[in-house]
Amino acid sequence: MTVRNIVRKGLAPVIGSERVDRLVDGEAKARASLASWIAPTERPAPVPASAPAETAPESEYPLAPNGYRIYPFDASRFPEPTLTRHEFLTGLHEVLQPRAYLEIGVDDGRSLTLSRTKTIGVDPAFHIVSPLRSDLLLARETSDDFFASTQAQDHLAGTPLDLAFVDGMHWAEFAYRDFINVEKLCGPLSVVVLDDMMPRTVHEAARDRYTDSWAGDVYKVVELLRTERPDLIVVPVNTFPTGVVLVLSVDPASTVLGDRYDDLLAGLTSADPQDVPDEVIERTRAVDGRDLIAWPGWAELRDLRERPRATAMRRKLLASFAETFVR
């Protein structure tokens, strides 16, 4: 079966078969970009053709070992993070004690070392450097290819994802599709974390990478989740370096995001330079990671996972979380 047919089989129910050909054609460009990210020293740092002079790399900015430019950012524009991304994930694993965990964007496997349960890792070019101690399915492929198969369902065997971490390709349409596919594997009290949601400069937010630290334009997904799915609880978390967003109150039966994919695609793929809102760079709606980990409701959330009929109690708990953290 060809890649195009595999993707058509898996994504047609989500975004419609008419859009699959365009998606697969775009995959070639994505893979080329990913290859340059994995081994950037083999070629000079790219300069996005669409970037105006003021956002193009300048020779006075130093080169990082990976060949990309290091751009300064104004740390006074947002509160100093108290936790790194990894420290925040560590805290979530401790308070959630997930029965199943999925991660898109494995890289060297450092985040996967946190999991001791049924686990899925997806990355087309992972290079594991640490021992992994879990019931692990490790897939060396893109997330689109992975979700086009039944590997996740087969490995989970009916256990919902209690925690998922999405750190895949740094383009908004990829993160959007990843969320759609991850949500289908979740339960009503699952937690989904999206990485790189708060770039610190317009340089870090570029679709065509030319900076050492790169978030891409995945930040666009956050506002779409708020507007298209008001049933979701969407909480930005101020972590180092480029912030994360925590999503609660997911609904694996929802088709809203898939139904709206074609209408929203143009906004997801706008050309560089990106128009990054001040509230994203300044993290005005973000909460402190330590405060979120310290929320006293995590123990009750774990208990309610085993009580699927306690709908009223679940809604009350999620409302309490939203009241505490949504800004």
Q: Tell me if 22 is assigned to some domain.
A: no
Q: Tell me if 138 is assigned to some domain.
A: yes
Q: Tell me if 286 is assigned to some domain.
A: yes
Query: Which string of b and e fits 7-36 if b means at least 16 CB within 10 Å?
Result: bbebbeebbeeebbeebbeebeebeebbeb
Per-residue confidence (pLDDT) for residue 289, from 0 to 100: 98
Query: Structural domain of residue 190, as residue ranges?
Result: 64-325
Per-residue confidence (pLDDT) for residue 67, from 0 to 100: 87
Per-residue confidence (pLDDT) for residue 55, from 0 to 100: 47
Report pLDDT digits (tens) over 257-307. 999 999 999 999 999 999 999 999 999 999 999 999 999 999 999 999 999
Mutual angle of helices 172-183 and 261-268, in 10-degree steps: 150
Structural domains of the chain, count: 1
Could you say which residues of the chain have pLDDT below 50? 1-4, 6-8, 24, 28-29, 31-57
CATH number for the domain that contains residue 131: 3.40.50.150
Q: Tell me if 44 is assigned to some domain.
A: no
Q: Tell me if 68 is assigned to some domain.
A: yes
Per-residue confidence (pLDDT) for residue 210, from 0 to 100: 93
Backbone angles phi, psi at 104, to 5 degrees: -105, 120
Q: 312-318: long-range contacts (C-beta < 8 A, 24 or more apart)?
A: 314/188, 314/189, 318/189, 318/233, 318/248, 318/249
Per-residue confidence (pLDDT) for residue 61, from 0 to 100: 87
Q: Tell me if 46 is assigned to some domain.
A: no
Q: Tell me if 56 is assigned to some domain.
A: no
